[in-house]
Structure 1
């Protein structure tokens, strides 16, 4: 009997607990009122895109939506072709504050991608449509209002390569794409290389494997495709610079020679010969510091003779110190002016009245740099 009473009490307690839980349950309210008016940018606003400018951007704003019983509302800005209905937007951007704020700032770089997805070609102008989507829990609604945005794309690629290689029979590495030569990345979409080219052909690619995007130049323009660039004549050394942000060959010059320039003599005291892979090296170069009344002068930099004139490579420091005890960065090479004295290096004191061997390295393996070895 005692056990029966105990069992009855336990069952009664369980029943009360279950009914209490049911009373406390509340149905999730996902009701969401429509999004307020779009406020920025104005309808039919025209934007001239400058994706190469990292700070160029456009702000999008709208009036916040509301929901019954409050709750967190999240926003996305959706873009579609002018004829689209946002059932499958070409691009979506979460609003500021991880989706909470009724605004978002979109870079010109991303707007250029959006323009391309909507069929606007480079160097062309076209329209895209945008609206705002709001969501609360599983309830998602598109705004009742949409606007047209007129986008003017510059020459250039909406998706610039993150890496760039050169490959082909004219290159130092030949046509085996797995051995393609990597170019140095200066900034997003901008690459350069110091290399030799022999008779043959070459092409640019964003991957050193089959299946990568291929590019070629036609005059000063960069185009996507597999048309090889043909070279003829003798093997020559070149400096090539490509800017995919504006689809342009930014620079292309033949490098005719590289000289070791000593400031006090205002002349080159020796020459370096190109070997391969963006590297020049010298035989023994005699070095004699110049005698001034105040002491002996040991300053130097490099003179690169090109088909477009002399370009100088030197130190980032306008006034330099002795290299003794300095780190690797002391020898880093930078484009500098033709000033006789500024942005020069100093020879190690042990080089005075000795021969030196100099190696200049201008490739993608690391910072541009040089070494000087006293013999």
Structure 2
């Protein structure tokens, strides 16, 4: 009886195994090539504006048809004018993770593509594009390709995401690990408040080895290992660069910084540059101005530069007392030369006392200042 049970057990196991066996079929990878390219038109001309985040170009084409109606994935491939797409310089997956017969490409990416195809900044050239359809391991280039004429503006196809100042003329010297970091204002735009002494300086996108190097030549930014030479005495400077258009926006000497009191329409004291974007004063006597309605305590700061006077003040047109306010009350913002608007107010305890003022234009956060009553 025990032997019979074993035989029946083996028989049922064989039946179970045979019933679990799947019907295997070969995967159909056959696919038709992409049909007509619809957009943009052949020989279309595009003036690129990579600094505009909203600037885009849409590409559209007729869908490919697989033999079994399965899923087809698409890539738009770009090559140099005259290229055969054997090794495209750039490929972009279509919308919908590759399943839609269209894709929207930013002017920023098209600028990169133009550069890869040998089109220099401030130049116009041609690139070719087609669509590659794929299913599983089978990829089939489109039957049609088109040409685009791309006009690049002045600027870099790949703008740095960070920027540093280094060299013997800088506060940190030649040690790349100590390079001074710029404040990033927006994509490709940087500024720094610093001092420069006799020597040379250079720009880099990395505080260490292996970074890209840049230098200013007149009003242009160029990539390369050249340096800018500084002569004369040590001076404070404001430097601003826009890599989107490869331009030196501003490079001005900051000659002096004054504490401007509105009621007197005059600067009541001066601040001296210390280091790392910081200016500080000694003791400055403060006396609120007596009007018929009360005593006035409003102030802001005046930066005297080689390009003229710039004022830094509050984002609030009409301000309140600083007592009990948050740190943002003291943030520094570019303001107009209006005598009264966008000013701060001294702490009431400062009346007929002396104060020490400090401005911090360091790159680590918001520009700010402090007033300490002595």
- Taking structure 1 as the reference length, the TM-score comes to 0.95
Q: Do residues 274 (structure 1) and 281 (structure 2) align?
A: no
Aligned to 1:354: 353
Partner SS state of residue 24, structure 1: coil
Structure 1 residue aligned with 2:71 = 72
For structure 2, which runs of at least 5 residues remain unmatched after alignment?
none
Hey, what does 1:51 align to over in structure 2? 50
Partners of 1:372 and 1:55 in 2: CA distance: 42
Q: TM-score, normalised by structure 2?
A: 0.96
Q: Output one character per residue of 1:348-371: Cα deviation in whole Å (capped at 9) or x when no partner.
A: 111111111000011212111101
Map of 2:196 onto structure 1: 197
Single out whichever of 47-56 and 133-142 deviates more from structure 2: 133-142
Separation in 1, partners of 2:271, 2:45? 53
Could you list the per-position Cα deviations for residues 139-185 of structure 1 after superposition, in whole angstroms to 9, with x for gaps in the alignment? 22221111111111111111111111111111111112221111111
Structure 1 equivalent of residue 154 of structure 2: 155
| Cα separation, partners in 2 of 1:37 and 1:13, compared to 1, 3 Å | farther
**2: CA distance between counterparts of 1:116 and 1:305?**
41
Number of aligned residues: 374
Q: Which residue of 2 aligns with 1:177?
A: 176
Deviates more, 1:130-139 or 1:306-315: 130-139
Match of 2:235 in 1: 236
Report the CA distance between 1:323 and its aligned residue. 1.0
Gapped runs of 5+ residues in structure 1?
none
Q: Does 1:103 align with 2:95?
A: no
| 1:371 aligned onto 2:351 | no
Cα distance in 2 for residues equivalent to 1:146 and 1:18: 53
CA displacement at 1:115 relative to structure 2: 0.7
2-side partners of 1:353 and 1:97: how far apart?
68
Cα distance, 1:185–1:306 mapped onto 2, change above 3 Å: same
Structure 1 residue 84 displacement after superposition = 2.0
Task: Please state how far the C-alpha of 1:276 moved relative to its aligned partner.
Answer: 1.0
**Which structure 2 residues correspond to residues 253-268 of structure 1 after superposition, within 5 A?**
253-268=252-267
Alignment correspondent of 1:137: 136
Task: Tell me whether 1:333 sits opposite 2:337 in the alignment.
Answer: no
Distance between the aligned counterparts of 1:207 and 1:34, measured in 2?
A: 45
Describe the shift of the 1:43–1:3 C-alpha distance in structure 2 as closer, same or farther (beyond 3 A). Answer: farther
Q: Distance in 2 between matches of 1:174 and 1:218?
A: 21
